[in-house]
Structure 1
């Protein structure tokens, strides 16, 4: 088993409004038992933990997804291996972006992280399901439901990517949250936690999978001039 991050689709595709599912969940899970993504039509935020798949939808509801024929336009997954223990006496995005990246020299590598504990505050957003003709991700991101919760026990899972790859995936941290009671989750916008414990895993390689059978993917044009700024605005932190 290779120590690699498997990614289907690209963030640039989502920015361009190519939101149709192009890989089945059954196929995706062959490449990892942990990960994040979104469903067909940008339908919510997907969290994959130990081969169990959950979707936080636009109403704030968390659903367990058991339909292996469900499709995703974009997802990142990995097999857990060669993990290093991560202890966070205090954590928020400032600490992750500054202290953690510098201490562990992450800036030029792909990294997975999972950490768990009681969070004093969690703020998430959830992509609402879209119908054709699909808008671009930036337009969707400006009108996404936001949910907040205090004193919630749960898990943060996601990835760090070098800025160099910021059009393939989100440069920096792209993290999702799922509560232990499976009642609250989404794309992590902000959080504060203390005494959190978990792991990180540095990958040897990135396996980028393209939906080459999808005619929309084959034909779409990218506005490179504005893409990076639009991605930063859409990511929301």
Structure 2
């Protein structure tokens, strides 16, 4: 299967996770055919996901990282066949500096998507991982108060992320949504804050083709979905 460069594939919706629809999804083996870079979560919202090259990693609330099995399912996941249109060197004094870097790359892409990969050493990373649902259809927003938060210093890592236009809130996470995995594959999570140690390499691509595959399950179609921007902001940081 040939995957076009810098197209986005997404399975399901953030609104579905917010409604707690997370018991089935796309198989890992199928998801890895959709691209070489991605993020998401696992069934029952157990931890965070990083797709890097041809491998899917589960970033667990315990702080551990494991390689996902081909038959495991992903209730929400986003991938792209990432081919950077440009790679720049940048210094991050905080997470918000990423928007500056992306705007400098293309300041006419406010209503388009951007994908990016950041490689380098970070003097500080603060990240969270969701512990997983405690009962069936537990909403994602409810898990926010119980998420595991870890802080890392002087870690060499890869950051994988997407910037989504504000009009797409609920379909995806509007604004920045990024996960990291350490170079030694022993740590990772959803980034809440980051400070680079000097310059890091930032590969960027603008995306204007998006394919969303929706679940067909009874639970998905019965769910009462709505866009809860405050709830998404609270869980996503």
Please state if 1:111 is matched with 2:114.
Answer: yes
TM-score between both structures, scaled by the size of structure 1: 0.93
RMSD: 1.4
Describe how 1:169-184 pairs up with structure 2 within 5 A: 169-184=172-187
Structure 1 unaligned spans of 5+? none
When the two structures are superposed, what TM-score results if normalisation uses the length of structure 2? 0.93
Who is 1:89 aligned against?
91
1:190-218 per-residue CA deviation (whole Å, 9 max, x = no partner) reads 01002100311111211111012x11111
Contact 1:86 1:115 in 2 (8 A): no
The whole-number CA distance in structure 1 between the counterparts of 2:218 and 2:195 is 43
Is contact 2:162-2:176 (8 Å) kept? yes
Q: Which residue of 1 aligns with 2:232?
A: 231
C-alpha distance in 2 between matches for 1:53 and 1:173: 21
Task: State the partner residue of 1:137.
Answer: 140
CA deviation profile, 1:55-107 (whole Å, cap 9, x unmatched) = 11111111122x1110000000011235311321335212113x224322232
2:124 matched residue in structure 1: 121
| Contact 1:126-1:187 within 8 A present in 2 as well | yes
CA offsets, 1:90-138, max 9 Å, x none? 35212113x2243222321111100111100000000112243231111
1:211 is paired with a residue whose SS is coil
Given candidates 196, 204, 212, the residue that maps to 2:200 is: 196
Q: Counterparts in 2 of 1:150-189, with a 5 A limit?
A: 150-189=153-192
